[in-house]
Structures are given as C-alpha cells and as structure tokens.
Structure 1
C-alpha cells in the first residue's frame, strides 16, 4: 500500500512562479489609468485672470498681443487681423533669440479666441508664451 502512494513528489513546492495573474492585474491597472487620466485633465475649474504675481524685468525681447472681448487683436499696440497673424508669428519665430509672447486677454474674452492664438503660436514654433494678469489687492485676497 505504501508503494502505490508516493508522498514525497506531492509535498515538493513548485519551483516557478505563475506570472499570468500578475500580468492580468497589471493590464487591468493600465487600462484603468488610461481611461481616468484624460478625464482628470479636462475637469479643471478655473477663474482667471487675477493673480498674485510680481512683474519680471526681463532683458529678452517680447511681443505684446492683446485680445479684447470682441476678439480683436493688437500686435504691440497695432491692430492685426487674424489672417495675417500666422505670418507675423512665423517671422517672430525665426528671430534669434526668439521673443517672448505676452498675451493680454480681457476677462470677458471667450476662451476660443485665446485657444486659437495659442494654437497659432505653437504652430509657428514659439514656445515662450506668458499670460499677463492684473495683480490682486489685499482687499481682493481677503475675500
């Protein structure tokens, strides 16, 4: 009877690790992160353009672009049409060193105008874009 049952072979633990459950868990976590991360980036509520910041005195050249609530733009205080803006931005991108674009947007400006301007600066190859805001006062900070 003891010859038929060999307990020594069954008592030995397995020498390898089963990786299939670990890979399954990793793939499920990857899918969860891929689905939730884009949703987190689009869920930001913003109140612009007030900021508590100091004006920087920079020696780099800059271009001031003003966008009002109606969508009219000014390039260094000169009116500019949206159709000629791409050519001016491309010419500015070829300068060495590249100028900083300072974007002055009215609080009532629809975000679509600002987004089109940012897309045009990116397409022209200008990477240094700054938003100009009005500083907050102590009374506004207390609220």
Structure 2
C-alpha cells in the first residue's frame, strides 16, 4: 500500500484590482437622472392662472407679489412662505408705503377659502390695493 500525499488545490488568490465598469455605469445613470430632473426642480412658481379679459395692470411703485398654488401653499415672490411671514411682510409694506399694491396670483384650482383668508389677512395688515393676476384669453 502506498500512502501518498493528497494534493489540495491551492486557494485562489484574492483579486487586487477593482472592476470599474459597474461603478462607471452607475455614475452615468445617476448623471442622466440628475440632468433630466434638474429642470423640474427649478424655483419658479408655476401656476395655472385663470383666463380673463381686462385692462393691463399699471406699473406700481411698490408691489408685494403673493402666490397660492393648487394645494393651497403660499408664496411671497418665488419663496415658499407661511401665513405669519406674510402677515409680517404685509405690515412692513403697509407701514413703509400704504399705497403698496398686492399682486395675488392664485391657481385657478386653488381653494376659494384660502384666497378669501389671504385677502382678509392682507386687509388687516393695512394693504387694501389687492389685484388678481390673470392671463389674457386667447382670441
């Protein structure tokens, strides 16, 4: 009987190189996703304003732009705001110039109760010149 030594296969050596292909693929997919979604995340307030015939607004010396979107969120200019912030800015504007005009841009599907609440808040702050911004009807 021959007793031989049993050969065990040598364990494979660990791979010391990193495969870059999956990393590059993931980074390119993320780049495409960010390129597509970046224009959608712009800070401009997009509203579906009601259509109406009327006179063009006159240029006012002092204007406070207030926006209300379809979910009832409030904006001062392009910045999202709360009722307390609007109340404070309206009081400051009324103290500075009582003839300050408010340009109220409300989405055509905005809740009527929110619009009425905004008008009451602005009048309590001392601003009585409130104008509704609308788009001109197509001919």
Tell me the residue number matched to 1:130: 131
RMSD between aligned alpha carbons? 1.7
Write the distance in 2 (CA, Å) between the matches of 1:60 and 1:101.
11
- Map 1:1-143 to 2 at 5 A: 49-96=50-97, 98-138=99-139
How many pairs were matched up? Answer: 91
Flag the 1:93–1:59 CA change in 2: closer, same or farther, 3 A: closer
Show CA shifts across 1:52-81 (max 9, x none): 124234142111101001111111111111
Runs of 4+ in 1 over 6 A off after TM superposition: none
Do the aligned residues in 2 keep the contact of 1:92 with 1:98 (CA within 8 Å)?
Answer: no
Write the distance in 2 (CA, Å) between the matches of 1:124 and 1:83.
11
Q: Which has the higher helix share?
A: 1
Write the distance in 2 (CA, Å) between the matches of 1:60 and 1:112.
29
Q: TM-score, normalised by structure 2?
A: 0.60
Show CA shifts across 1:117-141 (max 9, x none): 0000111111100000111011xxx
Unaligned runs of 5+ in 2: 1-48
Q: Structure 1 stretch 106-115 or stretch 70-79: which is displaced more?
A: 70-79
Greater C-alpha Rg: 2
**How many Å apart are 1:50 and its aligned residue?**
2.0
Unaligned runs of 5+ in 1: 1-47, 139-143
**How many Å apart are 1:98 and its aligned residue?**
3.0
Write the distance in 1 (CA, Å) between the matches of 2:50 and 2:72.
17
